[in-house]
Chain A
Amino acid sequence: MPLTMVKAGEPNVIRKIGGKEETRRFLENLGFVTGGIVTVVSEIGGNMIVNVKDSRVAIGKDMAIKIMVN
């Protein structure tokens, strides 16, 4: 399911990252890699703050929807 559907505080495993190549690369550099663990800290209107490899990253709704987790 997309990251936008995840409840806050629940750790999830990243399965796939879609979207434009540059954005995907940037997310990889920030620690979003397939198999990594992502936890949602908070969410406003689809935009979310997530925790990845001990760092906090804010991502817009249009990007969050392209990150698949389970």
Chain B
Amino acid sequence: MSIKIALAGNPNCGKTTLFNALTGSNQFVGNWPGVTVEKKEGKLKGHKDVIIMDLPGIYSLSPYTLEEVVARNYLIGERPDAILNIVDGTNIERNLYLSTQLMELGIPVIMAVNMMDIVEKNGDRIHIDRLSKKLGCEVVEISALKGTGIEKAAQKAITLANQKNIAIPVHKFAPEVESVLDVVEQKLGSDIVKEQKRFFAIKLLEKDDKIQSQMKLVPDISKEIEQIEKLFDDDTESIITNERYVYISSIIGECYTKGRKDSLTISDKIDRIVTNRILALPIFAVVMFIVYYVSVTTVGTWATDWANDGLFGEGWSLFGLEVPGIPILLDSALTAIGCADWLHGLILDGIVAGVGAVLGFVPQMLVLFIFLAFLEACGYMARVAFIMDRIFRKFGLSGKSFIPMLIGTGCGVPGVMASRTIENDRDRKMTIMTTTFIPCGAKLPIIALIAGALFGGAWWVAPSAYFVGIAAIICSGIILKKTKMFAGDPAPFVMELPSYHMPTVGNVLRSMWERGWSFIKKAGTIILLSTIVVWFTTFFGWVDGQFRMLEDMEIDHSILASIGSLVSWIFIPLGWGDWKSAVAAITGLVAKENVVGTFGILFGFAEVAEDGTEIWGTLAGSMTAIAAYSFLVFNLLCAPCFAAMGAIKREMNNAKWFWFAIGYQTALAYVVSMCVYQFGTLFTTGSFGILTVVALLFFLGFIYLLFFLGFIYLLFRPYKESSSLKLDTKNFARAK
């Protein structure tokens, strides 16, 4: 029979590191049913029948965060055979708070005190034997980062699970509280097993309505609650919290000897500088500059060139050995076996060109993700959220929204996924909706194409694209905040900051790979499929009433051309109402970098460089500079690629919100592009028409929403929060 061991502990206590060390690559990652909380399961190395369940990092078993509810439902409902409670040794007092709650669940508990190496380095001592005796459970010392003691901890957990040696909480609260708990326990129905009685009694006393809804019989204990609240002059939940901390302080003195005299740790000293009011922003700017300089220009360019021109191009050299590129290899292989023309075309022009263009971004993206993973793991990213909170709060977002946007500069898919760390429901939804406004790696070729073809490679085009993205985020924040759905202040910023530490290479690489993989996966699935569709609709069509494969120059007859002509009128107000641009924008929904490739195919080039140098002349001849900029803006802001839309759908976890997000993005893109084109044309040529008036109306409406509506709002509803969207309490505070 298999054994289930649950890993439980505070956020940042080294739980994930321990989980990775215990299970290796033998992991299964998914979501807890119905919620977007990550569920990680794995088999213990060398033990096929031992399953390790990584519970989300939590501070308590209260009902206030999604993670806490998920974790405690698992612990009560599934009843694992043992709990391995990881405790951060450098912060033992706070960590024991959760431990006291875990021990009330009636499940065998073993405690692993982590970061023992740092504790010793600080000159502190934790007396494991005394701690074990005081708490009534086995305690082992480990260092998850260095891998010491973890096997012993796992072995003890297995032994404990086999013995079914249920932890009996030896900690007691004040006699008055205990006597009330006894009464409540007596009143509990028979559906609650004996060893869980204390847990349920405490939760009932705390007036935890989520627990009440899980019970068949809810005894009436209002009298007991009233009695104890009167006695302590506090609400029951605070009484219990206090009792726990009082108990912990009563034992901590014997179990923990503080060695250091200096009250400031190294992390505190670093924080004094890094989050200093004068230095914080300059330091942040320098760090970001280094990250992007390295991952976009130096290492990034080298890696992208290798992937695009080498692996998926002419070929590359490996220590002097010439290795031909994949298209060339495939071409000769397909010719050798005498493959049919259409299949040859499908594989080379369709699949390899399409998927290859997407995979070409992977190396650069991975370099960026290594940096971001390092910044996250060492603890700096949490400080960034803190520093940026001051600025982001001004337009209705939380500092934690900044991290998804930073990751979104690489790829929107992991960016949207990173929004999970934002606990407040409204803040998270708004972040999901706005993250993809930031130009991702795949939008850079479009920028390069437009800048090169229409603006003679002007330096300001690329920065202006980022500026448009940031402006879209700020304006969206301000406007959305005024709608009923998002009204109210962002949740107060409360976040635990982990100690600075050097992350392990393995953890950084693992995090990089998890994010990169979500991008590669889309190349292998949705992009593969859609390149086939695009290829088919491009190269097949009706010529003189006959459906057949088309020659290169017959593209005007293709299915794609028919579709493009059908929808292109929509984009006439934006200045690019010809079918080719419309088709390019549509294929951009598959993957943004497709826009360049599609233009290439449509202008009669089988393959174009990443920035489409070959078609600059043709493109410049087909639209004005203003129209091209409007095209760029539309592609930057409109609904992202299918993969990112999928991520938005997953994270919103609600079809209505998904369509609202996509609709909002596309409508905003349309209006902004229209204003760009109409006003641009007005200023450059002086032409004024009915569409200029429409654009002007849109613009005024936008200004109205941005400023005036806010003014009225402030006038009539001072300090009053909307009651229509209550703060999602269960989703509230999660600090990571």
Please tell me which one of the listed residues A27, A43, A62 contacts residue B277 in the complex, with CB atoms under 8 A apart.
A43
Name the B residues within 8 Å of A22 (CB-CB): 64, 727, 729, 732-733
Please report the C-alpha to C-alpha distance between residue A25 and residue B423 in the assembled complex, in whole angstroms.
14
Known contacts A25-B237, A44-B276, A58-B496; 19 additional CB pairs below 8 A are A20-B492, A20-B727, A23-B491, A25-B62, A26-B494, A29-B60, A31-B245, A41-B272, A42-B272, A43-B277, A44-B277, A44-B387, A49-B497, A54-B90, A56-B496, A56-B497, A58-B497, A60-B389, A63-B493
Query: Is A28 touching B241 in the complex (CB atoms < 8 A)?
Result: yes
Please report the C-alpha to C-alpha distance between residue A22 and residue B494 in the assembled complex, in whole angstroms.
11
Query: Chain A: which residue is nearest B727 at the CB level?
Result: A22
Name the A residues within 8 Å of B491 (CB-CB): 23
Stretch at the interface among B92-100, B507-515, B685-693: B92-100
A12 within 8 A of B: no
Name the B residues within 8 Å of A31 (CB-CB): 93-94, 97, 245
Query: Is A49 touching B271 in the complex (CB atoms < 8 A)?
Result: yes
Query: Is A57 touching B495 in the complex (CB atoms < 8 A)?
Result: yes
Interface string of B81-94 (1 = CB under 8 A from A): 00000000011111
Please report the C-alpha to C-alpha distance between residue A54 and residue B498 in the assembled complex, in whole angstroms.
11
Interface string of A27-53 (1 = CB under 8 A from B): 111110110100101111101010111
Name the A residues within 8 Å of B245 (CB-CB): 31, 33, 36
Query: Is B494 touching A27 in the complex (CB atoms < 8 A)?
Result: yes
A63-B494 CB under 8 A given contacts A25-B237, A33-B241: yes
Please report the C-alpha to C-alpha distance between residue A42 and residue B280 in the assembled complex, in whole angstroms.
11
Query: Is A39 touching B263 in the complex (CB atoms < 8 A)?
Result: yes
Query: Is B271 touching A41 in the complex (CB atoms < 8 A)?
Result: yes
Query: Chain A: which residue is nearest B423 at the CB level?
Result: A26
Please report the C-alpha to C-alpha distance between residue A45 and residue B386 in the assembled complex, in whole angstroms.
11
Please tell me which one of the listed residues A11, A34, A42, A47 contacts residue B493 in the complex, with CB atoms under 8 A apart.
A47
Identify the 7 closest CB pairs spanning chains A and B, nearest first: A60-B493, A26-B733, A63-B492, A29-B60, A29-B59, A58-B386, A56-B497
Query: Is B493 touching A59 in the complex (CB atoms < 8 A)?
Result: yes
Query: Is B390 touching A47 in the complex (CB atoms < 8 A)?
Result: yes
Query: Is B94 touching A54 in the complex (CB atoms < 8 A)?
Result: yes
Please tell me which one of the listed residues A23, A28, A29, A49 contacts residue B275 in the complex, with CB atoms under 8 A apart.
A49
Query: Is B497 touching A57 in the complex (CB atoms < 8 A)?
Result: yes
Q: What total of chain A residues lie within 8 Å of the partner, measured CB to CB?
A: 36
Query: Is A23 touching B494 in the complex (CB atoms < 8 A)?
Result: yes
Query: Chain A: which residue is nearest B258 at the CB level?
Result: A54
Please report the C-alpha to C-alpha distance between residue A34 and residue B271 in the assembled complex, in whole angstroms.
26
A6: min CB distance to chain B, Å: 15
B489 within 8 A of A: yes
Please report the C-alpha to C-alpha distance between residue A49 and residue B327 in the assembled complex, in whole angstroms.
55
Write 14 A-B pairs (CB below 8 A) sorted by A numbering: A9-B263, A11-B263, A25-B64, A27-B494, A29-B64, A31-B245, A41-B268, A43-B277, A44-B275, A44-B387, A57-B495, A57-B735, A62-B493, A63-B494
Query: Chain A: which residue is nearest B733 at the CB level?
Result: A26
Interface string of B489-528 (1 = CB under 8 A from A): 1011111111100000000000000000000000000000
Name the B residues within 8 Å of A23 (CB-CB): 491-492, 494, 732-733
Query: Is B97 touching A47 in the complex (CB atoms < 8 A)?
Result: no
A28-B238 CB under 8 A given contacts A23-B733, A49-B386, A56-B268: yes
Query: Is A56 touching B499 in the complex (CB atoms < 8 A)?
Result: yes
Name the A residues within 8 Å of B272 (CB-CB): 41-42
B689: min CB distance to chain A, Å: 48
Please tell me which one of the listed residues A19, A41, A54 contacts residue B92 in the complex, with CB atoms under 8 A apart.
A54
Please report the C-alpha to C-alpha distance between residue A44 and residue B390 in the assembled complex, in whole angstroms.
8
Query: Is B91 touching A62 in the complex (CB atoms < 8 A)?
Result: no
Please tell me which one of the listed residues B91, B492, B499, B729 contacts residue A19 in the complex, with CB atoms under 8 A apart.
B492
Query: Chain B: which residue is nearest A65 at the CB level?
Result: B492
B487: min CB distance to chain A, Å: 15
Please tell me which one of the listed residues B92, B280, B494 contacts residue A57 in the complex, with CB atoms under 8 A apart.
B494
B75 within 8 A of A: no
Name the B residues within 8 Å of A41 (CB-CB): 264, 268, 271-272
Query: Is B59 touching A30 in the complex (CB atoms < 8 A)?
Result: yes
* Chain B residues with a Cβ under 8 A of chain A: 59-60, 62, 64-65, 90-94, 97, 237-238, 241-242, 245, 263-264, 267-268, 271-272, 275-277, 280, 382-383, 385-387, 389-390, 393, 489, 491-499, 727, 729, 732-733, 735
Interface string of A1-21 (1 = CB under 8 A from B): 000000001010000000110
Query: Chain A: which residue is nearest B272 at the CB level?
Result: A42
Name the B residues within 8 Å of A19 (CB-CB): 492
Name the B residues within 8 Å of A63 (CB-CB): 492-494
Name the A residues within 8 Å of B64 (CB-CB): 22, 25-26, 29
Query: Is B393 touching A60 in the complex (CB atoms < 8 A)?
Result: yes
B727: min CB distance to chain A, Å: 7
Please report the C-alpha to C-alpha distance between residue A23 and residue B245 in the assembled complex, in whole angstroms.
18
Please report the C-alpha to C-alpha distance between residue A45 and residue B277 in the assembled complex, in whole angstroms.
7
Please tell me which one of the listed residues B65, B91, B387, B390 contacts residue A54 in the complex, with CB atoms under 8 A apart.
B91
Counting chain B CB atoms within 10 Å of each CB, which of A42, A57, A62 scores highest?
Answer: A42
Name the A residues within 8 Å of B59 (CB-CB): 26, 29-30
Please report the C-alpha to C-alpha distance between residue A30 and residue B284 in the assembled complex, in whole angstroms.
27
A29: min CB distance to chain B, Å: 4
Name the B residues within 8 Å of A56 (CB-CB): 267-268, 271, 496-499
Query: Is A60 touching B492 in the complex (CB atoms < 8 A)?
Result: yes
Please report the C-alpha to C-alpha distance between residue A24 and residue B272 in the assembled complex, in whole angstroms.
26
Name the B residues within 8 Å of A58 (CB-CB): 382-383, 385-386, 389, 493-497
Query: Chain B: which residue is nearest A42 at the CB level?
Result: B275
Name the A residues within 8 Å of B390 (CB-CB): 44-45, 47
B267: min CB distance to chain A, Å: 7
A51: min CB distance to chain B, Å: 7
Query: Chain B: which residue is nearest A27 at the CB level?
Result: B494
Name the B residues within 8 Å of A28 (CB-CB): 238, 241
A18: min CB distance to chain B, Å: 11
Query: Is B496 touching A55 in the complex (CB atoms < 8 A)?
Result: yes
Query: Chain A: which residue is nearest B95 at the CB level?
Result: A55
Name the A residues within 8 Å of B275 (CB-CB): 42, 44, 49
A66: min CB distance to chain B, Å: 8
B304: min CB distance to chain A, Å: 37
Name the B residues within 8 Å of A57 (CB-CB): 494-497, 735
Name the A residues within 8 Å of B93 (CB-CB): 31, 53-54
Please report the C-alpha to C-alpha distance between residue A17 and residue B272 in the assembled complex, in whole angstroms.
25
Query: Is A55 touching B238 in the complex (CB atoms < 8 A)?
Result: no
Query: Chain A: which residue is nearest B280 at the CB level?
Result: A44
Name the A residues within 8 Å of B387 (CB-CB): 44
Please report the C-alpha to C-alpha distance between residue A69 and residue B673 in the assembled complex, in whole angstroms.
53
A58: min CB distance to chain B, Å: 4
Please report the C-alpha to C-alpha distance between residue A46 and residue B386 in the assembled complex, in whole angstroms.
12
Please report the C-alpha to C-alpha distance between residue A41 and residue B695 in the assembled complex, in whole angstroms.
51
Name the A residues within 8 Å of B733 (CB-CB): 22-23, 26
Name the B residues within 8 Å of A29 (CB-CB): 59-60, 62, 64, 97, 241
Query: Is A62 touching B497 in the complex (CB atoms < 8 A)?
Result: no
Counting chain B CB atoms within 10 Å of each CB, which of A19, A22, A54 scores highest?
Answer: A22
Query: Chain A: which residue is nearest B424 at the CB level?
Result: A22
Name the B residues within 8 Å of A49 (CB-CB): 271, 275, 386, 497
Name the A residues within 8 Å of B727 (CB-CB): 20, 22
B208: min CB distance to chain A, Å: 11
